[in-house]
Amino acid sequence: MEEKENYSQDVLRHSASHIMAQAVKRLFPQAKLGIGPPIRDGFYYDFDIDGEVLSHNLDRIEEEMRKIVREDLPFEKEMVSKEKARKIFEEREEPYKLELLEEIEDDEVSLYRQGEFVDLCRGPHVRSTGEVKFFRLLSLAGAYWRGKEGNPMLSRIYGTAFFKKEDLDSYLNRIEEAKKRDHRKLGKSLDLFSLSSELGAGLVIYHPKGAILREILERFEKEEHLKRGYQPVITPHISRAHLWKQSGHLDYYRENMYVFSLGKEEYVVKPMNCPGHILVYNSKIRSYRDLPLRYFELGTVYRREDSGVLHGLLRVRGFTQDDAHIFCMPSQLVDEVREVLRFVLFMMKTFRLGYQMTLSTRPRKYIGSPENWERATQALTTALEKENIPFEVAQGEGAFYGPKIDVQMEDALGRLWQGPTIQVDFNLPERFDLTYIAPSGKKERVVMIHRVVLGTMERFIGILIEHWGGAFPVWLSPVQVRILTVTTKESLFAWQVYQKMMSEGIRVEVDDDNAMLGYKVRQAQLEKIPYMVIIGPREKEKEIITVRTRDGENLRGLEISEFIEMVKTKIEDKS
């Protein structure tokens, strides 16, 4: 018999979702069952019942789950005909199970039972409810049935489960830390950005400090791209729809695009930058001597995202990508991908982020020939192997026009965020007849690489806020130094110090209000400013400063020039 330690975490969590559903049905028999899969870090189950009822009773549901665990009910698999399954769920008045049942083509289906509870499920599960000991219900949210707007809104309970208590405790501690780091709360308290219903859902307004942070990131990105031979381009926000018909986006991506009519012609608000970059390439005849050509744009794009998936800066409708397209000969392809991989790793190191890489292959809906897809996939694989980068394969998760390398960035709490991507594309060059003159004098087809090395600026800023908990390293901090006076008598000297720091490129503010020093210090700490320069009578008299870091360290009797050099070194070192 299989030992429980051989079960995967997913099997344990899937079993926990069934226990939760059984508990809900015991307490609220009127609830209708949706689905309850395991997910990364936990599980959920959807119910058709007033969410208010569940939100006020999560503790009761969890206690009922513990009772079911103590009952140690065996998970029993039963293969039945579709007709018998239909009768079972008709008797139980489970319309969502009946809908799922009708889509199963097999004549036989599998059910899983524990005690009085039965579910339509492929499994597998642990042996009995008694093996699911360490779990916690986490939250409740609304979710459209099967993720589609227009379908009924169900109530989704999220939970998690682990084999060991210490693992559960560790995870719950990370959850609490993540709540403190929530970029939406910190974005408001640090006055970085806002989202306004008057403006529209999923559209971001950057406040001065957020705009400074973004400007620092964009300036850094531009400098690094220029060092690597990229040429900047700028493309319009709207274009004629026929361009997107030619690219294939109107056929494969229309539901995510904003399309409007202007006179008798359709226009598109650009969802991505590639067609514009293609037009730059095609603006004149290219020789093999010109290649590779690397075009870079911090391009703002707009995509129609369902309101239910919008989430602060992490999922928005209007965003800016650090987008680039590389046009090269097939013989240059692997080396160009390797260079992009090195660029990505440089970025991960600079921002102190871990990473995992996934190779995503041909999806069900795609353009182009299987042969070109194979060539593109092999080029990505070879580049990863030559750079000695470990990766996983995600079958069928590529873009419609080409396979890709997806880079998940790992933050300080061990969470993974989708960021950089590298996509090889043989298809758009064919659709747009992109060629170069080969050494033989004949026209040859160019290969195209789509890539971002951070992703979208909005998502990356959201990730950085949570990664650093708002306490950005000195080089990224919108305000690097705040000068605090003990009394208003030190104001003149404080502003003299301010001018010296400003002239050296340090982002500095002065707080010379007539308030207690302790209050000023606490306020600066809440705003997570790296350095507080304190000026009292002694500092004014000797023309020195006392420095307090946001971590509580005190540096007394510093020369102003000494401190300025210290801060500039931190900025230069990206620390």
163: burial class by Cβ within 10 Å (0-12, 13-18, 19+)?
middle
Residue 345: what pLDDT?
A: 97
Could you say which architecture CATH assigns to the domain 4-180?
A: 2-Layer Sandwich (3.30)
**For a pLDDT cut of 70, what percent of the chain falls above it?**
99
The binding site for Zn(2+) consists of 274, 325, 450
What are the residue ranges spanned by the domains of the chain? 4-180, 208-235+270-467, 474-572
**What's the confidence (pLDDT) of residue 1?**
32
Q: CATH code for 474-572?
A: 3.40.50.800
Q: How confident is the model at residue 3 (pLDDT cuts 50, 70, 90)?
A: very low
For domain 208-235+270-467, the question of CATH label 3.30.930.10 is answered with yes
pLDDT at 20: 97
What is the distance between the alpha carbons of residues 95 and 102, in angstroms, rounded to a whole number?
A: 11
Note the pLDDT tens digit of each residue in 185-197: 999 999 999 999 8
Confidence of residue 6 (pLDDT cuts 50, 70, 90): low
Binning pLDDT at 50, 70 and 90, where does residue 310 land? confident
Are 407 and 252 a contacting pair, CB within 8 Å?
no
Active site members = 274, 303, 321, 323, 325, 404, 450
- The answer to whether residues 118 and 94 touch, using CB atoms and an 8 Å cutoff, is no
What's residue 5's pLDDT? 47
Span 421-452, pLDDT tens digits: 999 999 899 999 999 999 999 999 999 999 99
The residue that leads in pLDDT, 146 or 215, is 215
Q: Mean pLDDT across the chain, nearest whole number?
A: 93
Query: What is the pLDDT, as a whole number, of residue 62?
Result: 97
Q: Which phi and psi angles does 166 have, rounded to 5°?
A: -65, -30
Q: Which residues are annotated as a binding site?
A: 274, 325, 450
Instruction: Tell me the per-residue pLDDT of 108-144, one tens digit each, with 9 for 90 and over.
Output: 999 999 999 999 999 899 999 999 999 999 999 888 8
> Which of 308, 49, 24 is CA-nearest to residue 154?
49
Instruction: Write the pLDDT tens digit of every residue in 135-171.
Output: 999 999 888 898 776 789 999 999 999 999 999 999 9
Lowest mean pLDDT among 33-42, 307-316, 342-351, 475-484: 307-316
Q: Please write the tens of the pLDDT for every residue from 230-283.
A: 999 999 999 999 999 999 889 888 989 999 998 889 999 999 999 999 999 999
403-413 tens-digit pLDDT:
999 999 998 88
- In the predicted structure, residue 4 carries a pLDDT above the cut 70: no
CB 85 within 8 A of CB 109: yes
Dihedral, CA of residue 307, residue 308, residue 314 and residue 315, to nearest 10:
-40
Instruction: Measure CA 315 to chain center.
Output: 7
